[in-house]
Amino acid sequence: MNEALLKAEDVSIHFGGLKALSHFNLEIRQGDLKGLIGPNGAGKTTGFNVLTGVYAPSSGSVWVGDERVNGWMPHQINHLGLARTFQNIRLFRALSALDNVRVACRAASSHLHQERLLKVRKEAAFGKLDAKLLEASSNYLDWWRAFFCSPTFQRDEEQIRHQAEELLEVMGLSHRRNEQARNLPYGEQRRLEIARALGTRPRVLLLDEPAAGMNTREKADLMPLIRRLRDQFALGILVIEHDMKLVMGICEQITVLDHGETIAVGSPENVRSNRKVIEAYLGDSYLEGHAGPSAAGPS
């Protein structure tokens, strides 16, 4: 029943001679909340980029649902239900908060259509050609609907607007609806990015350092928020984070990377006491006083 929504099998990626990530394994199911930590340059974000299709893996395979997505475009992988946020916030800065979310939201009708397309793509009789033709023609049809402002188009627009406003509400950003994204405070920009990712109706959400740049209060609010999102939207969540309190607080399983190698996988307690992890990342000072408030990793 609860099969893996996202699976990385022995994924490696090389840039020339540099092994950015080697033999990386990961599995996310619905309801999972997993963490990915490691020192800077360990390959965490590279891992995200491989999973979301920004880079194709040099070897190994990435599965989303039962599709092997090696070499797929990021938007195709996104349509399968994988959404992400970015380490260095990448909002559409000149667009309003509402429009940022609306870009990601697609009307339900168009979502059904996406599923149909995937099916056709799979069952295509003449290789990829007929699927491509169908996709292209329906894309152009969508534009005609907009040109003529057809009733279907208007219904879709209302639905998109409704969905986007709901998401802003969930993330507590309703009052910022018409403000340009670049004018929002940092913490709200981070939340807006999550709202935008949720707009694509994902089944798996990848958060790249969601707490970076947030103040203590915002960080404290973030933990229950992430848990709530997982339950409310029935997601599997993977978090990259340097804030140990947050990671240890919410993640059920943590993968530790160093120089592209997986050096430990396990529950927060196991990882915390793992000798290799302490050497590579947490540092001895973390062992001595990890209960204290300074228990953050190197930044």
Residues that bind another protein (CB under 8 A): 52, 54, 73-76, 78-79, 83-84, 86, 90-96, 99, 102-104, 106-107, 136, 139-140, 142-143, 146-151, 153-157, 160, 196-197, 199-200
Residue 144 and residue 155: Cα distance in Å, rounded?
15
Q: How far is the CB of 214 from another protein (least distance, A)?
A: 20
Q: Which residues pair with 266 in a beta bridge?
A: 254
Q: How far is the CB of 177 from another protein (least distance, A)?
A: 12
Q: How far is the CB of 179 from another protein (least distance, A)?
A: 13
Segment (H or E) for 14: strand 6-15
Nearest to 229 by CA among 253, 249, 199: 199
Q: How far is the CB of 117 from another protein (least distance, A)?
A: 11
CA 225 to chain CA mean position, Å: 15
Between 48 and 281, name the residue whose CB sits nearer to another protein: 48
Residues 6+ apart with CB under 8 A from 299: 40, 242
Between 146 and 287, name the residue whose CB sits nearer to another protein: 146
CA 37 to chain CA mean position, Å: 15
Q: Which residues pair with 61 in a beta bridge?
A: 9
Q: How far is the CB of 259 from another protein (least distance, A)?
A: 25
Between 28 and 277, name the residue whose CB sits nearer to another protein: 28
Between 125 and 149, name the residue whose CB sits nearer to another protein: 149
Residue 173 and residue 272: Cα distance in Å, rounded?
35
Between 157 and 221, name the residue whose CB sits nearer to another protein: 157
